Amino acid sequence: MSRKLELSIGKLERLRTEVSETYESARAESRLIPFGQANIIGRPNIYKGVQAKYAKVRKLLDEVDKQEQRVEKIEKVEQFKEDNELIKDVHVVGKSRYATVGAKTSVNNVAYFEDKLAKMIELNEASKAHNKRRKADEPLYKTFGTQITALRRKVESLKAIESKSKDDASNISESAQRLIDDGQVRQWLKKPIYYFVTGLRKVALELNEDGEFIVSKRYYPSSAEDKQTVSMLIGKEVI
């Protein structure tokens, strides 16, 4: 069990305990009020405390439901990782138990995509062989030419990014390394050629041939404030 799952289960158990304790407290307070006792105009609401506790119970039950779904989502993600040992980065769409889990297009998953490509090619060859020798009354097997081409391009793209990031890392300037060490930029693990500027939204730098940071054309700053921030970081005016 991961630390993340352990903490989520712990929170769920605490919420359930709080629901039980609050509910019992509301019942105990309710029993102290004479059955059928009505509120008297001009006096405090004798049911105020009980009503507040029952309202809290309802709110807590909503939190319990959300936390149960969160726990189930984390369990689903961890099971997916366990079933696919080559996957290092997971892509999750959705926040509930119905979340879709898959492999993120990341350089950390190159081995997974290469393995998937090899298996798909093998299956495709088997399907083609069957279709070639099949009898008239036998069904055609599905082939995967289009999917293989797309997956091969993905692998080539990720490996190119991985190679470039390694080359860049071996030729990084002192000023660029200082920005990384100071936490002013953070490398994107999915595509490590990009270094996002801390505190800015979707603004990134890249390393040039001299190991110096330049502004990424893909993640270029749009506002004057962002351009000024980036200019101060790289020591060059960003227009």
Task: Please check whether residues 156 and 183 belong to one and the same domain.
Answer: no
Rounded average pLDDT over 169-187: 89
Compute the average pLDDT of residues 34-40: 69
Q: Compare 167 and 140 and report the one with higher pLDDT.
A: 140
Task: Please indicate, yes or no, whether residues 146 and 201 belong to a single structural domain of this protein.
Answer: no
Q: Same domain for 100 and 42?
A: yes
Quick one: average pLDDT of 10-35?
91
Q: Which domain holds residue 147?
A: 119-162
Q: Does residue 92 belong to any structural domain of this protein?
A: yes
Look up the pTM and report it.
0.66
Q: Is 90 exceeded by the pLDDT of residue 237?
A: no
Quick check: is 109 in a domain? Answer: no
pLDDT of residue 236: 83
Please check whether residue 31 lies inside any domain of the structure: yes
Indicate whether 39 pLDDT > 70.
no
Q: Do 129 and 48 sit in the same domain of this protein?
A: no
Do 195 and 213 contact (CB within 8 A), yes or no? yes
The answer as to whether 110 is a domain residue is no
| pLDDT tens digits for range 185-218 | 999 988 888 999 999 999 999 999 888 999 999 9
Tell whether 202 is covered by a domain. Answer: yes
**Lowest model confidence (mean pLDDT) among 95-104, 130-139, 210-219:** 95-104
Whether residue 44 is predicted with pLDDT greater than 80 in this model: the reply is no
Beta bridge partners of 214: 206
The answer to the question of residue 239 being in a domain is no
Q: Do residues 7 and 63 share a domain? A: yes
H helical segments located in 91-173: 110-133, 145-169
Q: Indicate whether 112 belongs to any domain.
A: no
Query: What's the half-sphere exposure (Cβ side, CA atoms, 13 Å) at 7?
Result: 3
For residue 215 the two structure tokens come to 């502004």
Mark whether 149 and 197 lie in a shared domain.
Answer: no
Q: If pLDDT is split at 50, 70 and 90, which confidence band does 235 have? A: confident
Q: Identify the pLDDT of residue 36.
A: 66
- What is the band of 63 on the pLDDT scale with cuts at 50, 70, 90? very high
**DSSP symbols for 23-64:** HHHHHHHHHTSPTTPPPPTTS--TTHHHHHHHHHHHHHHHHH
How far is it, in rounded angstroms, from Cα 123 to Cα 153?
A: 18
Verify that 16 and 83 share a domain, yes or no: yes
Beta-carbon contacts of residue 124 (< 8 Å; ≥ 6 apart): 143, 144, 145, 148
On whether residue 125 sits in a domain, the answer given is yes
Residues 68 and 154 grouped into a single domain: no
The better pLDDT of the pair 190, 52 is held by 52
Q: How much of the chain exceeds pLDDT 70, in percent?
A: 97
Give the residue-averaged pLDDT of 154-159.
Answer: 94
CB 176 within 8 A of CB 191: no
Q: With beta carbons less than 8 A apart as the criterion, state whether 183 and 153 touch.
A: no
Both 22 and 100 in a single domain? Answer: yes
Instruction: Give the per-residue pLDDT at 132.
Output: 93
Q: What is the residue-averaged pLDDT of the chain?
A: 90
Neighbouring residues of 180: CB distance < 8 A, sequence distance ≥ 6: 172, 186, 187, 195
User: Mean of the pLDDT values across residues 36-51?
Assistant: 75
What tokens were used for 90? 């997971």
Q: What is the mean pLDDT of residues 18-27?
A: 95
Q: Mean pLDDT, to the nearest integer, of 40-67? A: 87
pLDDT at position 43: 66
Q: How many domains does the chain have?
A: 3
Higher pLDDT: 44 or 142? It is: 142
In the prediction, which pLDDT does 59 show?
Answer: 97
Does 10 share its domain with 71? yes
Residues 179 and 134 in one domain: no
- 43 & 126 share domain: no
